[in-house]
Amino acid sequence: MKTLKILFTTILLVGFNLTFAQTARLQVIHNAADPGAVAVDIYLNGTLLLDNFGFREATPYIDAPADTPINIGVAGPNSTSAADTIKNFNVTLTANETYVAIANGVLSPGSFASNPDGRSTAFTLFIKTMARESGTGSDVDFFVLHGSTDAPTVDVIARGVATLVDNAAYGDITNYITVPAASYILDVTPGSDNSTIVASFQADLGGLGGGAAVVFASGFLNPVQNQDGEAFGIFAALPNGTVVEFPSVQLSRLQVIHNSADVAAGSVDIYLNGSLLLNDFEFRTATPFIDAPAGVELNIGVAPNTSSSVDDTLANFTASLVNGDTYVVIANGVLDPTSYASNPDGRSTAFTLFVQPMARETGTGGDVDFFALHGATDAPTVDVIARGVATLVDDAAYGDITGYITVPAGNYTLDLTLADGTTLVQSYIADLRTLGGGSAVVFASGFLNPSSNQNGEAFGLFFALADGTVGQFPEGVASVENISGVTPSNYSLGQNYPNPFNPSTTINFTIQNSDFVTLKVYNILGSEVATLVNENLSAGSYRFNFDAQNLASGVYLYELTAGNFREIKKMNLLK
């Protein structure tokens, strides 16, 4: 392609009789995928402007004559004059305006696949007015052209960020889009089905802060049906004429959680396709969601934390992730099941990976989305009931994973019961009030009977957030008993009885009105050691039996709060 000297020579000699007092800014992009137009000559009012202008090439922005008709002719690459043009377009540019002109389509539509939306695919010029040569502040400004003749209506989604292009058919040009200068994964999906990803591309805009671009879909989705023309891709033309291709990628999102309570797997090394992925990965820890290769077979190896290479792995698993999907993978079970208690439901407890596809990194609106895993090898089938709300988990045996559960961001008491729904095993306080709009994985962990399982970690209910934070739900009230049908005339907190006690004692209190009530126990240093009540209670007189068998001897404080009422008393545990 000749330099812009041709253009200026043309403008001077063609006979416009201009002194450049009236000019516009113009960039030209060749995006016609017709193999017969892989390179073209462009004539301006009969004079050669661009010689052998290649497919997916662009000019920089240049000054062009304005306020006068311009004839743009397109000819084959070996033309000898304007008489050889095969397409001609008449345009008039407005002075001081900025344009992008994109040559697109095919010369003989009948020789190519039809557009699935019925759009004309004839060779043409798509014109974008009010184009930009720079970005907004330090951001990047770009518009998008759907320039692939055989592609249907699509959306373009910046993965995990936003939908950039909504229901664009062939020939549609978006308004300008402004984004921070960063790297993005662009998922192309059918306009009516964002769950199906047609293709994904890496758009690294990190070095373009303050710049602008033209992003255009190019080529054929099915080259075989289109004279073996160039395959589909996404490209960007910069204001200086540089054209870059966004590389195709196959990526999924992945979070890994270590929930194997085997005492020999307290800390492990994780290998991915032979390379160390996680070093000294601890029991009850999690990674944040990360990008992981998709569309290829992955080998995941688990080795002792003293490993020196993939040759030291104790267990290996193969998996293939789907492009654009999101997964949670949970390492669970024990390496030698014969050395641990059998599962009471006969489930295999061998070390394995539990995989949850279609995982969520965020919640629904202001709610909290979570799924639950029964991950305690020696625990029976259980239910989990949000007290006074609903049964969240019904008849879950070891290894079972629920679907996603969506709840308001509130404070809940979770009762873990046997499958009969009435035999209470333990209760937990799940304070989700700060997690609105977030997601979590809730997992039962450890052993109900550590002494029968090599003294491994004791049973508990844990959660992993999308950022990799892992926390434990504290044990809560097993039962609080309303001992009077009479509405009290005041609020009060009674002295526990007996006092001193070993290891259990009874605490009485009254509440005058229906309120959210908490009854908590603290050590003498003020650290909370137990939450006994954490729920809405009706007006009445209540009794709670506190079992302190897991606490050391000493003086403890217990605090009742109900509405604006608050009172603290002392009790003495003497073992």
Which residue type does 284 have? R
Which residue type does 31 have? N
Phi, psi of 110 (to 5 degrees): -65, -15
Which ranges constitute the DSSP H helices of 266-307?
none
Q: What is the DSSP string of 229-243?
A: -PBPEEEEE-TTS-E
Buried b (16+ CB within 10 A) or exposed e, 564-574: ebeeebebebe
The C-alpha atoms of residue 313 and residue 236 are separated, in whole angstroms, by 44
Please give the chain's pLDDT, 575 residues, in tens: 334 434 433 333 333 334 446 899 999 999 999 999 999 999 988 989 889 999 999 999 999 889 999 899 999 888 999 999 989 999 999 999 999 999 999 999 999 999 999 999 999 999 999 999 999 999 999 999 999 999 999 999 998 889 999 999 999 999 999 999 999 999 999 998 888 888 899 999 999 999 999 999 999 999 999 999 999 999 999 999 999 999 999 889 999 999 999 999 999 999 999 999 999 999 999 999 998 999 889 999 999 999 999 999 999 999 999 998 999 999 999 999 999 999 999 999 999 999 999 999 999 999 999 999 999 999 999 999 887 788 999 999 999 999 999 999 998 888 888 887 767 677 888 989 999 999 999 999 999 999 999 999 999 999 999 999 999 998 765 567 777 667 899 999 999 989 999 888 889 999 999 999 999 999 999 999 888 888 889 998 888 888 887 789 999 999 999 999 999 999 999 98
Closest CA to 539 of 480, 493, 486, 477: 486
Phi, psi of 406 (to 5 degrees): -115, 125
Question: Which structural domains are found in the chain, ordered by start?
Answer: 1-188+205-244 (no CATH), 251-356 (2.60.40), 368-472 (no CATH), 481-573 (2.60.40.3080)
User: How far is residue 325 CA from its own chain's centroid?
Assistant: 9
User: How far is residue 567 CA from its own chain's centroid?
Assistant: 45
Name the token pair of 363. 């919640």
344-362 confidence digits (pLDDT tens): 999 999 999 999 999 999 9
Contact between 124 and 196 under an 8 Å Cβ cutoff? The reply is no
Phi, psi of 115 (to 5 degrees): -70, 130
Please state, in angstroms and as integers, the Cα–Cα distance from residue 12 to each residue in 19, 72, 123, 244, following that order. 9, 16, 29, 32
